[in-house]
Structure formats: C-alpha cells, structure tokens
C-alpha cells in the first residue's frame, strides 16, 4: 500500500475574477521512503496540490472533489481537529521563505521545541530541548546557536533550521516547497546533500516541489511534471529525464543548459499558460505546443502508460512520434 495516494484531486480558488481551477484532477501515489519531485512553472498548481495534503490551503480554497489517502485514511474527510494531530507529527512542511516561516521574536531552538511540546505535551521541557539540540546537530548547526534568533542566521542556516523543525516530530512524509530557491549555488548543493542524507538515514518519504528541474534531478526517485493544474508526466526520474514523453517536459528540460552537452541554444517555451478560470477543453498545453496535431485541441488525454511505470498525458507521446528521446530544440 502506498504511503500517500492522491486520487483525482481538485482544488478551486474563489477570486474576484472567478473560480480558478488550480488543481484539476491530479492523481499520484508515493511509496514509503520514496523521494518524489514535482516540477512545473509558477502557477501550475504544484504548491497548491502539495499543501492540500496537510490541509494548509488558503481560506478561499475549496476541494470540490478527489481523495487524499494517507496511510490508509482519507484526509479530505477529516475535521480540522483531526488534521491538527496529523500536521507536523505525520506530515510536515519545509517552507520556501525560511525567514518568513519563522517567528523573528523567538529563538530558533524554541521554535523547534514548540511542535514537540505541542504534539507530545507530556514530554519534559528539558528532554524536548535535548531533542531539538540533537536535531540541530543533525542538520549541521552547532548547539551553541540554539538560542540565536532567526535574523542572526544566514539564509542557508535558516533553511537548515527549517529542516530540523520539520523533522522535530518524526514525520512520515515531508513536503519541501522550493527548499533551495534563492540560496547560493554552493549552499543549494549543501542543503540538497543534507536532504539526501537525512532521507536515507531516516527512511523519510519526501515530496519536493521546485520550478528548477536541475535541482530535482539530483535528488528524486520519481518525477511528476505538472502543467495548468494537471499532471502531464509521471515516472521514474531517470526515465523522465532520459526520454521525456510529453512535449512540455521535453521543452522544460531543454531550457536548462547542460555543460556536458552541445552548446545549442533552445528557444524556450513561447507563450503563457492557459487561464485556469476557463481551462481549455482539450490539452492544456495546446496553445504553446510545437508538436500539436489533429485532435489535441478537443481531446483531453488522461495519463496513460507509455512504458512500464512511465505515464504521460499527451495524445501523441514523443515515443510514438520519434522513436524515443530525441529532443528537437
């Protein structure tokens, strides 16, 4: 049984302009110990989809359909009180802006102690503090900095502390929302390495969201590519990178220069994602797709298996067209 099984999830946002269908029928499943990457441009629904799992959506969001089955239980039908016991203890989040995600008036240490005491109120304070110190140590922060304030930390250290915080209650699943965006390359590499080590040591299951495919390539076992609120491709990381089946994934991958490859300049993906207030009838990528063919505009292709374990929602997956994996830039 997978640890997390999202089935046909839909999330809407009520806005002044109308109802935005931010997540429009997403299904995916995550095994215990798996590291999954979710990639896509801003506004593709990746963060919304992930934050729906611990029920951390904005107030104007509604979930009109779908199931989020976590460890055998549907989280959508749970009450706010029940969710509160699951949040952080079972599912925790590493947020993007680590400065905003911390209270500037409390020490870093006490902010790690807080969730421990909240979820295990019988823990003596000393013991919780000792655990927090150990957590800081495991993310590479000396316990001398336990009583420092967030502003005394550098960006990289804050992100480390954020990771320690997310691990405080020994969660089964960690959601990392752009954990290394806005950090320097060397610090990025450090943090990714840290996440990798922690995942293998603790047997964590992790969903990592990033607009930067190259970051996901480093770390993830499986890769999900989202576009316009839907999953367009899903498969083992190595397969997706080697032979992207959806034209969008292929172009997204091509947008990153590969210093060991040819120095060819790619054209990017001209155009803009569709308006999600009135999503297109057929393929969401139709407007921008250079490989579109007859039927793409009107047929909404569901995910189908193009090779074992590799799913794609293109009516004409690249494999059929070109005999696999050749990207025409």
Partner 1 sequence: MADLMTIDELSVHYERRRMGGCGRKVRAVDGVSLSIRRGEILSVVGESGCGKTTMGKAILNITRATSGRIIYDGIDLAKISGAELRAMRRKFQMIYQDPYESLDPRQSIYDTLLEPLLIHRRDLSSVQKRDLVMSHLEAVGLRPAEMIAARYPHHLSGGQRQRVAIAAAIILEPDFIVADEPVSMLDVSVRSEILKLMLDLQKDKDLTYMFITHDLSLAWMISHRIAVFYLGRMVEIGGTEEVVHRSTHPYTNALVSVIPTVGKKMRGERHILAGETPSASEIPGGCRFHTRCWLYHDEGEPEICRNSEPELAEVADGHMAACHFKLIPSRDQQAVFDVAERLSKPAPTLNPLGL
Q: Does 144 bind partner 1 (CB under 8 A)?
A: no
Closest CA to 210 of 39, 26, 28: 39
E-assigned strands of the chain? 4-15, 18-30, 35-39, 61-70, 73-74, 91-94, 173-177, 205-210, 222-227, 230-236, 304-307, 310-312
Q: How far apart are CA 118 and CA 256, in angstroms?
A: 43
Which listed residue (121, 124, 270, 308) binds partner 1 by CB under 8 A? Answer: 270
Which listed residue (15, 106, 147, 272) binds partner 1 by CB under 8 A? Answer: 272
Q: Does 326 bind partner 1 (CB under 8 A)?
A: no
Which listed residue (96, 111, 188, 306) binds partner 1 by CB under 8 A? Answer: 188
- Site residues for partner 1, window 207-266 (CB under 8 A)? 211-215, 217-218, 238, 240-242, 251-253, 255-260, 263-266
| Residue with Cβ nearer partner 1 (128 or 224) | 224
- C-alpha triplet 136, 152, 171: angle, nearest 5°: 30
| Residue with Cβ nearer partner 1 (103 or 267) | 267
Q: Does 114 bind partner 1 (CB under 8 A)?
A: no
Which listed residue (267, 275, 299, 328) binds partner 1 by CB under 8 A? Answer: 267
Q: How far is the CB of 186 from partner 1 (least distance, A)?
A: 5
Could you give the string, one character per residue 56-95, with x where binding to partner 1 holds by CB under 8 A and - elsewhere?
----------------------------------------
Could you give the 3-state DSSP secondary structure of residue 107? coil
Q: Tokens 């995916």 appear where?
A: 28
Q: Does 193 bind partner 1 (CB under 8 A)?
A: yes
Cβ burial of 124 (10 Å; 0-12, 13-18, 19+) is exposed
**Taking the CA of residue 32 as centre, how many other CA atoms within 13 Å lie in the half-sphere pointing to its CB?**
8
**Taking the CA of residue 329 as centre, how many other CA atoms within 13 Å lie in the half-sphere pointing to its CB?**
12
Q: How far apart are CA 129 and CA 109, in angstroms?
A: 8
Contact in structure between 48 and 261 (CB atoms under 8 Å):
no
Contact in structure between 233 and 313 (CB atoms under 8 Å):
yes
Contact in structure between 237 and 216 (CB atoms under 8 Å):
yes
| Residue with Cβ nearer partner 1 (150 or 171) | 150
Q: Does 317 bind partner 1 (CB under 8 A)?
A: no
Q: How far apart are CA 313 and CA 302, in angstroms?
A: 5
| Residue with Cβ nearer partner 1 (159 or 205) | 159
- Interface with partner 1: number of residues (CB under 8 A): 42
Q: How far is the CB of 288 from partner 1 (least distance, A)?
A: 8
Strands 61-70 and 4-15: antiparallel
Q: Does 154 bind partner 1 (CB under 8 A)?
A: yes
Could you give the 3-state DSSP secondary structure of residue 110? helix
Q: Does 14 bind partner 1 (CB under 8 A)?
A: no
| Residue with Cβ nearer partner 1 (156 or 317) | 156
Which listed residue (69, 117, 130, 189) binds partner 1 by CB under 8 A? Answer: 189
List, in order, residues 6 or more apart from 78 with CB less than 8 Å away: 55, 86
| Residue with Cβ nearer partner 1 (187 or 202) | 187
| Residue with Cβ nearer partner 1 (25 or 43) | 43
- Site residues for partner 1, window 36-55 (CB under 8 A)? 41-42
Distance from the Cα of residue 29 to its chain's centroid: 13
The tokens for 216 are 């996901």
Q: Does 142 bind partner 1 (CB under 8 A)?
A: no
| Residue with Cβ nearer partner 1 (83 or 187) | 187
Could you give the 3-state DSSP secondary structure of residue 248? helix
Give contact residues for partner 1 (rule: CB under 8 A). 41-42, 154, 156-157, 184-190, 193, 211-215, 217-218, 238, 240-242, 251-253, 255-260, 263-270, 272
């Amino acid at each position: 049984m997978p640890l997390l099984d999202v089935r046909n999830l839909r999330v809407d946002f009520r806005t002044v302009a109308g109802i935005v269908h931010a997540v429009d029928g997403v299904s995916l499943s995550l095994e215990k110990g798996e590291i999954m990457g979710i990639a896509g441009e801003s506004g593709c629904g990746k963060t919304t989809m992930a934050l729906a799992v611990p029920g951390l959506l904005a107030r104007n969001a509604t979930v009109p359909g779908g199931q989020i089955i976590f460890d055998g239980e549907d989280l959508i039908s749970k009450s706010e009180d029940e969710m509160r016991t699951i949040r952080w203890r079972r599912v925790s989040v590493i947020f993007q802006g680590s400065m905003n995600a911390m209270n500037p008036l409390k020490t870093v240490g006490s902010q790690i102690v807080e969730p421990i005491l909240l979820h295990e109120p019988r823990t003596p304070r000393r013991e919780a503090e000792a655990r927090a110190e150990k957590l800081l140590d495991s993310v590479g922060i000396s316990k001398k900095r336990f009583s420092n304030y967030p502003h005394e930390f550098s960006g990289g250290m804050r992100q480390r502390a954020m990771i320690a915080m997310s691990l405080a209650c020994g969660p089964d699943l960690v959601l990392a929302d752009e954990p290394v965006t806005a950090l320097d390359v060397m610090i990025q590499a450090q943090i990714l390495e840290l996440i990798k080590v922690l995942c293998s040591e603790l047997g964590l299951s992790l969903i990592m969201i990033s607009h930067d495919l190259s970051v996901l390539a480093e770390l993830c076992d499986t890769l999900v590519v989202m576009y316009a609120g839907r999953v367009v491709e899903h498969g083992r990381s190595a397969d997706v990178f080697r032979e992207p089946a959806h034209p969008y994934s292929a172009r997204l991958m091509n947008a990153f220069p590969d210093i060991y490859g040819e120095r060819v300049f790619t054209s990017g993906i001209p155009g803009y994602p569709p308006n999600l207030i009135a999503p297109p009838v057929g393929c969401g990528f139709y407007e921008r797709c250079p490989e579109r063919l007859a039927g793409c505009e009107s047929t909404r292709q569901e995910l189908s298996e193009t090779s074992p374990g590799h799913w794609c929602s293109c009516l004409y997956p690249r494999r059929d067209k070109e005999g696999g994996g050749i990207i025409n830039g």
